Amino acid sequence: MALPVFRQPDLLIRALTHRSYLNEHPEAGDDDNERLEFLGDAVLDFVVALWLYKHYPDLPEGRLTTLRSAIVRTEKLSEFATQLALGEQLRLGKGEIDSGGRARPSLLADAFEAVLGALYLDQGVRAVQRVLHPLLKAEVDRIVAAQADRDAKSVLQEVAQGRFGITPRYRTVQASGPDHAKVFTVEVCLRDEPIGRGDGPSKQAAAQAAAAHGLQTLAARSDSKSSAGLAAPETKDISTGH
């Protein structure tokens, strides 16, 4: 997927300019992307809210709000930015580049919002919708199917206690990267069996990712048992259901 051609290329250049680039290249005389990020954040919220309102007419306000929150979180916006190859186009200072800035989720998410703000100024809200709608369709379908707009840890706890009578346990198994860009890996277990693992910029985010993976694991097992004509497990053996 690619961005449309800008009528005012300077807007796109500004949207892709991080302040670290200007700190090292004051002679460039450009503005950084922070003001466009501010505008793009508002445009993004509006376009997502309108799309959800039209496509899910039966959902209550509370569920629409949680869906929007699931879509506009940093990790998801950074994925959208990656699909548009924004990381490769960012103007960054050498320090940011050397520390992995082109792949940093927070920086990519900010750039994505800035590009949306620039596109809105350049061509209006319909151009923003043409970029966002294809991204939203696939993502929202997945979120609704997996209930990913709900807190994954809470859902996993409900499932684990309801099906097995036990509470999930989380443990941090790895922390890597420099102090300013740590990546944590968390594993979730039911009793002593690992059922999910996730990465994130904080232990809380990694635990949420691990819980979401755990839910997928349990759902796959449930589907496998159903297709084989087996009854839902009544006992607490999570690996076999016996």
Q: pLDDT tens digit string along 219-236? A: 888 766 654 443 333 434
CA 157 to chain centre: 22
37, 41, 96, 187: the active-site residue: 41
**DSSP strand pairing (193-200 vs 169-176):** unpaired
pTM, whole model, 2 decimals?
0.67
Report the residue count for the chain. Answer: 242
Dihedral Cα 17, 19, 24, 26, nearest 10 deg: 80
Give the phi and the psi of residue 149 in degrees, each rounded to 5: -80, -15
Instruction: Name all domains of the chain by residue range, CATH numbers in brackets.
Output: 9-146 (1.10.1520.10), 152-227 (3.30.160.20)
124 within 8 A of 131, measured Cβ to Cβ: no
Based on C-alpha coordinates, what's the Rg of the chain? Answer: 21
Tokens 């920086």 belong to residue: 107
Mean pLDDT of 175-199: 90
Is 113 noted as a catalytic residue in this protein? Answer: yes
Q: Give the rounded percent of residues in the chain with a pLDDT score beyond 90.
A: 56
Report the amino acid identity of residue 24.
E
Catalytic residue among 113, 122, 149, 187: 113
- Residues 128, 112: contact at Cβ < 8 Å? no
At 70, the amino acid letter reads: A
187 is catalytic: no
Q: State the pLDDT confidence band at 27, using cuts at 50, 70 and 90.
A: confident
Angle among Cα 238, 150, 74 to the nearest 5 degrees reads 115
Which two three-digit tokens encode residue 80? Answer: 């959208």
Q: What is the structure's pLDDT at 75? A: 83
